[in-house]
Amino acid sequence: MSGPTSGGADADLRAAALRLAAGRARAAETMPYLATALFAMTPLPRPGIATMAVDRRWRLYWDPAFALSLTVTGCAAVWLHEVGHLLREHADRWTALAEPAGQAPRWNRAADAGINADLRAGGVELPVAGAWYPERVPGGAEGMTAEQLYRLLPAHPDEGPDCGSGAAGPERVWEEGEGAGDGSVDAGRAVLLREQVARAVREQAARGTVPAGWRRWADRTLDPQVDWREELRSVVRRTAATVAGLRDSSYSRPSRRSSAVPGVVLPAMRQPRPPAVRVVVDTSGSMDEVMLARCLAEIGAICDRVARSRGSVEVIACDASAAQVQAVRSAAAVTLVGGGGTDLRVGLEAAAQRRPPADLVVVLTDGQTPWPDAPPERSPRARYVAVLVAGAAGAHAVPSWMHAIVLDPAALTAR
């Protein structure tokens, strides 16, 4: 009795496999510069998952029924979408955010929007109901990174397809696990594949037939610049480590060693305090929505880093005047007000007025502001960092007592 049913299921699986293979071939024809990555992926059937998804080892999990519901062109679009997650290292970028695990679907939506925008620019439409694009994200725009789009999304966005652990989050129950010798791609080979694809993108771009997002990705892959994001993290880490290593003496609680020295009271050692970090955000009229979104993304990264040292982050929005100080634990809690002229000297002075004295003051700005000639007197030991979110145009004006980090606008738009 099971023979005809089994035969029918086998026939459907074969038909679905042919559709999948034809889709991959069409994808390679549509965007030939991605062909190396497409044919490095290992497809594994997973009936019942109702989607196509990838893991970190470049394995593509596909539902035969889902594949059969697509045309060959539609199947090609899904192949191109999933390989985008792998090439752009969305799983590793999600890990680097160190966000709560429950926010992985939110990251998946942000990453989807960036990939789909470049597919659309290449004439490819994703045949999935409810597909995400930058304009669907509140305040989103073409050219934003997945990190920027993520910060703009609500904590629990509308549903979308699950693209697997290769996009974000832990291994799914239907994934294979690490494994070895199964034809999947390990981390070392993945680096070589990305470089090979990036060179192919450049060659194709010379003929003017590559979406801008893929050209920017290839440039960043082949010509890595100073990682300003890691540089900023290192500043926060060094400040946190310095403060954590400090010890001071106090007579408010005498040391237990005092009893061993008659007539002498020895001070006890106080526990180190966590670092005090202030962030001054330029909210003047010259800061557009994209720049402010970048600022929020950096505030989120700073909050995460400082939280590991049990430190605090205070945010001060500033145009020509300083707004009320906001003590925050995440970028989602920040309200940016302003829109007038620019004088960040006011914001720096407001940061210096706070107690305890700041250990690190980060200024996020486009650089179009007057700067003080010297650090504020009330925070003489603070480390000051200016992050120029609009490129190097204002770098020459940053005073020598501040550490300037120039954010490359072109590099930032590589999704």
199 and 100 share one domain: yes
Sheet of 403-406: strand order equals 326-328, 312-318, 276-282, 360-365, 383-388, 403-406
247 inside domain: no
The answer to whether 379 touches 351, Cβ cutoff 8 Å, is: yes
- The helix (run of H) or strand (run of E) holding residue 152 is helix 146-152
Identify whether 178 is part of a domain: no
Query: Is there a single domain that holds both residue 353 and residue 282?
Result: yes
- The span from the CA of 337 to the CA of 339, in Å, is 7
Q: Are residues 140 and 278 in the same domain?
A: no
**Among the ranges given (23-27, 179-183, 205-209, 391-395), the one the predictor scored with the smallest mean pLDDT:** 179-183
My answer on whether 14 and 153 are in the same domain is yes
* Mean pLDDT, the chain, integer: 84
The residue with greater pLDDT, 312 or 357, is 357
Q: Are residues 302 and 200 in the same domain?
A: no
Q: Identify whether residues 291 and 360 lie together within a single domain.
A: yes
Residue 200 lies in a domain: yes
- Among 53-57, 133-137, 166-170, 191-195, which stretch is predicted with the lowest mean pLDDT? 191-195
Same domain, 17 and 94: yes
Mean pLDDT over 401-407 rounds to: 84
DSSP 220-268: HHHS----HHHHHHHHHHHHHHHHHH--EEESSS--GGGGGSTT-PPPE
Residue 168 counted as domain residue? yes
Read off the pLDDT of each residue in 377-402 and give the average, rounded to a whole number. 82
Q: Are residues 273 and 126 in the same domain?
A: no
Which of 26-30, 192-196, 245-249 has the highest mean predicted lDDT (pLDDT)?
26-30
Domain holding 365: CATH number?
3.40.50
pLDDT of residue 227 exceeding 80, the answer is no
Instruction: Note the pLDDT tens digit of each residue in 75-101.
Output: 999 999 999 999 999 998 898 788 889
Model pLDDT, residue 172 = 94
Of 194, 222, 220, nearest in space to 33 by CA: 194
Most trustworthy range by pLDDT among 56-70, 238-252, 310-324, 354-368: 56-70
Structural domain boundaries enclosing 29: 2-173+183-222
- What is the C-alpha to C-alpha distance for residues 366 and 394, in angstroms, rounded to an integer? 7
In a domain, 121, yes or no: yes
pLDDT band of 230, cuts 50, 70, 90:
low
Q: What letter does residue 380 receive in the DSSP assignment?
A: T
CB 162 within 8 A of CB 51: yes
Is 315 a member of any domain? yes
pLDDT for position 250: 46
54 pLDDT exceeds 60?
yes
- Average pLDDT over every residue of 214-221: 87
Please give the Cα distance from 224 to 220 (Å, whole number).
5
Kindly state whether residue 253 falls inside one of the protein's structural domains.
Answer: no
Total number of residues shown for the chain: 415
pLDDT top residue among 33 and 405: 33
Number of domains in the chain: 2
**Domain end marker among 222, 250, 282:** 222
**Is 238 in the same domain as 204?**
no
Considering the domain architecture, whether residues 142 and 93 belong to the same structural domain is answered as yes
Which range of 110-119, 214-223, 330-339 scores highest in mean pLDDT? It is: 110-119
Residues 314, 147: Cα–Cα separation, whole Å: 22
pLDDT at 251: 45
For the cut 70, the answer to whether the pLDDT of residue 303 exceeds it is: yes
Grade residue 379 by pLDDT with cuts at 50, 70 and 90: confident
Regarding whether 266 and 155 lie in a shared domain, the answer is no
Q: Confirm whether 248 is domain-assigned.
A: no
pLDDT tens by residue, 381-393: 788 989 888 877 7
If you average pLDDT over residues 319-346, what whole number do you get?
Answer: 89
Q: pLDDT-based confidence at 413, cuts 50/70/90?
A: very low
Per-residue pLDDT for 242 more than 80? no
**Tens digits of per-residue pLDDT, 148-175?**
899 999 888 878 889 999 999 999 999 9
pLDDT level of residue 31 (50, 70, 90 thresholds) = very high
Shared-domain flag, residues 207 and 272: no
Cβ–Cβ under 8 Å, residues 406 and 227: no
